Amino acid sequence: MFAMSIRRLVFPVWVCLAGGTLLTLFAIHSNLPYLAGHWYYPVTMVVGAFVAGSTPEGGGGIAFPVLNIFLDVDRALARDFSLMVQSIGMTSASILILARRDSRLADFRPLLWWVPVAFAGFVLGIETLQGMRVPVIQALFLGLTTAFAVAYLRSTHRGHADALPAVGVPDIARTCVVLIAGGLCASLFGTGAGMLIYTLLVTRFALKEKRATEMSIILMASLSILGYAWRGWVQHALSADQVQTWLCAAPVVLVMAPLGAAVLRRIHHEWMLRGIVVISLVQLAYFNLFRPTLEKSLWSLSLTAVLLFVFSWVMDRTGSRHGRIRVRPDPVGDEQVRRD
Report yes or no: 34 and 241 within 8 Å, Cβ to Cβ: no
Distance CA 50, CA 326 (A): 28
Distance CA 28, CA 24 (A): 6
- What is the reported pLDDT for 319? 56
Distance CA 79, CA 83 (A): 6
- What is the reported pLDDT for 113? 96
Most confident of 225-234, 269-278, 326-335: 225-234
- What is the reported pLDDT for 148? 85
* Count of Cβ atoms closer than 10 Å to residue 218 Cβ: 22
**160: pLDDT strictly greater than 90:** no
- What is the reported pLDDT for 193? 94
CA pseudo-torsion sign 227, 258, 99, 205 = negative
Burial per residue of 87-123, b for 16 or more beta-carbon CB atoms within 10 angstroms, e otherwise: bbbbbbbbbbbebbeeeeeeebebbeebbebbbebbb
Distance CA 41, CA 253 (A): 11
Q: How confident is the model at residue 1 (pLDDT cuts 50, 70, 90)?
A: low
Tens-digit pLDDT profile for residues 115-133: 999 999 999 999 999 999 9
**336: pLDDT strictly greater than 60:** no
Q: How confident is the model at residue 278 (pLDDT cuts 50, 70, 90)?
A: confident
Q: How confident is the model at residue 324 (pLDDT cuts 50, 70, 90)?
A: very low
Helix (H) and strand (E) counts for the chain?
13, 2
Distance CA 190, CA 224 (A): 8
Most confident of 35-49, 225-239, 259-273, 317-331: 225-239
Distance CA 147, CA 304 (A): 6
Per cent of the chain over pLDDT 70 is 88
Q: How far is CA 213 from CA 44, 196, 227, in A?
A: 22, 11, 20
Mean of pLDDT values over 163-192: 93
Tens-digit pLDDT profile for residues 218-260: 999 999 999 999 999 999 999 999 999 999 999 999 988 888 7
**322: pLDDT strictly greater than 60:** no
Report yes or no: 174 and 221 within 8 Å, Cβ to Cβ: no
- What is the reported pLDDT for 339? 39
Tens-digit pLDDT profile for residues 70-103: 999 999 999 999 999 999 988 998 998 998 888 8
Q: Which of 22-26, 99-103, 250-254, 304-308 has the lowest mean pLDDT?
A: 99-103
Distance CA 32, CA 248 (A): 9
**325: pLDDT strictly greater than 60:** no
* Count of Cβ atoms closer than 10 Å to residue 292 Cβ: 10
Most confident of 3-12, 173-182, 285-294: 173-182
Distance CA 193, CA 198 (A): 8
Q: What is the mean pLDDT of the chain?
A: 86
Most confident of 205-209, 220-224, 310-314: 220-224
Residue type, 180: I
* Count of Cβ atoms closer than 10 Å to residue 253 Cβ: 32
**337: pLDDT strictly greater than 60:** no
Most confident of 3-7, 59-63, 128-132, 265-269: 128-132
**187: pLDDT strictly greater than 90:** yes
Residue 1 CA to chain centroid, in angstroms?
34
